[in-house]
Amino acid sequence: MITTLRLPFRLLTIARVLRRHDALSAAEALGVYPTVVALLRRLGGRSREGRPGQKLADALAELGPSFIKFGQFLATRADLVGEQMALDLSNLQDRLPPFDFKDAKATIESELGRPLDQLFTQFDKQPISAASIAQVHFALTREEDPDTPPREVAVKVLRPGIEAAFERDMQLFYYLAYLVERTQPRLRRFKPVEVVRLFETTVQTEMDLRMEAAAASELGEHFQDDPDYHVPEVDWERTARRVVTQTRLSGIRLDDREALLAAGHDLREILRKSSAIFFNQVFRDGFFHGDQHPGNMFVLPDGSIGAVDFGVMGRLDHRTRTFLADMLLATLARDYERLAAVQVEAGYLPAGQPMDLYAQALRAVCEPIFGRPLARISFARLLGQLFRLTESFNLSVQPQLVLLQKNMLMAEGVSRRLDPDLNIWVLAEPLITEWMRQYRGPQARAREVSLSLLQGLERLPATLDHMESIIRQASEGGLRLHPETIAAFAEVRRQAATTRRAYLLALVALLIALGAVFL
């Protein structure tokens, strides 16, 4: 835990920065320590124009790398800070002065075990970008075969001492999270300590550049046959924990409308490709770019889309994807009772909550949306409004779903800058229809039932063996059980055997039914 001596000075520094940027208004908006915040505001500090989230972003940028990353992390948690503040924090500029070339060179040579000039024929001393955790240099590789031409690459290098700096600030974050949990009952449902622990895991993953390389490699494999999406290839020979090397991508920022038009690109076609890429990442693969924004997405000369920076990735298991699909179907059908039931099945609505009242709240959120023209409907904002019901009904929201909503919001923003009359999700309708047919149609549900039966059959032998072992131990005196209990075990075993026969009969009947459907 952070040292008692250093804590007051660090907290005083933070309070001064927050007050200077008038960022205490963000704490007021969140309702965190209202008495303390009111006292600090009375002590001085000029009022500034802007929304609370904008002021908080400015303050976090001044406080340094750990706070910048924490602000970006909060930008993915609209359920904690609200949609508008999350949107403001997503614009937090992760730009710091570059560190010296000699430190980058020392890190590369130490991590890769070879002199820089043996790895690269050319290495730009001035980085192309510098952020809180790392900076990126362009370079040309030196190939072992002299007849092989050098390859253009981008080399990402961690900042010197960044791990130790984050470790110090993480102690402070944990201290504050424990304090909030103990003294702010209203905020306990947000699980501050768990939030900080998730943030720590996220940052530790980002600071191991091998993990970023692995994410890029996995994403690249998913799209290896897709000519519309390019992920830089990882140069594993020049990659280690603090260095990652990838092929260099050059293109036009995805949101630069004028440049795209000047280059002769079809904006509608670009948006079609973008929507397909997003849909395939989320629903087809369940593995999506968690920090997708115009700064790390480019339109390449051939009209395809390239992406970089894979430090933050999101995953959705098949069960979550099917629940999302069912929620979408229920929402589009305006069947709010079904929408509430789906969320209960998914475990989002705690037991004991009135489902009919929750369905009514869903109707209040969704119905105003459907009265708007299709081009003006924001499905990301709809998802965000559903998250805002969490406080009233004490819902638990998966962080990955909030990360998904944040990326949907970003995608809609880019889409409207390129073509304000187009809804990006309409372009993905053929993919959505096919996915629904494949995974949520009658045939898919029949497959799910058959799989459930097979899994039940697979578990039965182990269950019966376990019961037999318990009964044997009991009969041999290894366990002291009442005779009636032993008789009950025997009865359970008899019933299990009957159940197994019933499973087999049901499976045979199902196979016959499936044969009638598919053949």
* Distance separating alpha carbons of residues 153 and 141, to the nearest angstrom: 7
pTM score:
0.76
Asked whether 236 and 213 are in contact (CB, 8 A), the reply is: yes
**Any catalytic annotation for residue 88?**
no
Q: How far is CA 18 from the centre of its chain?
A: 28
Other CB atoms within 10 A of residue 315 CB: 12
Asked whether 94 and 72 are in contact (CB, 8 A), the reply is: yes
Largest CA distance in the chain: 86
Which listed residue (235, 291, 309, 326) is catalytic?
Answer: 291
Name, in order, each residue with C-beta under 8 angstroms of 41's C-beta and a sequence gap of 6 or more.
19, 24
Q: ∠ CA 470-474-476 to the nearest 5 degrees?
A: 120
DSSP lists the bridge partners of residue 158 as 134
Got the DSSP string for 352-368?
TS-HHHHHHHHHHHHHH
* Distance separating alpha carbons of residues 427 and 268, to the nearest angstrom: 9
**Residue at token pair 């919001």:** 409
Please choose, from the candidates 165, 166, 159, 162, the residue with its C-alpha nearest in 3D space to the C-alpha of residue 99.
159
pLDDT at position 1 is: 47
DSSP lists the bridge partners of residue 253 as 298
Please choose, from the candidates 377, 371, 369, 370, the residue with its C-alpha nearest in 3D space to the C-alpha of residue 423.
377
Helix (H, G, I), strand (E, B) or coil at 249: coil
**Residue at token pair 């209990």:** 485
pLDDT, averaged in runs of 10, over the chain (519 residues) = 64 84 74 64 67 88 88 77 80 83 97 96 95 94 90 96 90 88 78 86 91 96 96 97 96 94 95 92 91 87 94 88 80 84 77 81 82 71 70 67 79 86 78 76 59 60 66 60 56 56 49 45
* Distance separating alpha carbons of residues 108 and 158, to the nearest angstrom: 9
Q: Domain 95-164+208-248 class?
A: alpha beta
Q: At what angle do helices 355-370 and 379-387 cross, to 10 degrees?
A: 150
Query: Sign of dihedral through CA atoms 481, 482, 486, 489?
Result: negative
* Residue 452 structure tokens: 């459930």
What length is written for the chain?
519
Q: How far is CA 395 from the centre of its chain?
A: 19
Q: pLDDT tens-digit profile of 114-158?
A: 999 999 999 999 999 998 899 999 999 999 888 889 999 999 999
* Distance separating alpha carbons of residues 376 and 416, to the nearest angstrom: 9
Q: pLDDT tens-digit profile of 12-66?
A: 888 888 888 888 777 766 666 666 666 666 665 566 778 888 888 889 988 888 8
444 exposure class (CB count in 10 Å sphere: 0-12, 13-18, 19+): middle
Asked whether 128 and 154 are in contact (CB, 8 A), the reply is: yes
* Distance separating alpha carbons of residues 27 and 34, to the nearest angstrom: 8
pLDDT at position 303 is: 95
pLDDT at position 331 is: 78
Q: What is the DSSP code (8-state) at residue 347? A: T
* Distance separating alpha carbons of residues 200 and 173, to the nearest angstrom: 10
Residue ranges per domain, the chain? 6-94+165-205, 95-164+208-248, 250-440, 442-518
pLDDT at position 499 is: 52
Please choose, from the candidates 154, 177, 60, 159, the residue with its C-alpha nearest in 3D space to the C-alpha of residue 104.
159
Helix (H, G, I), strand (E, B) or coil at 320: helix
* Residue 110 structure tokens: 């130490």
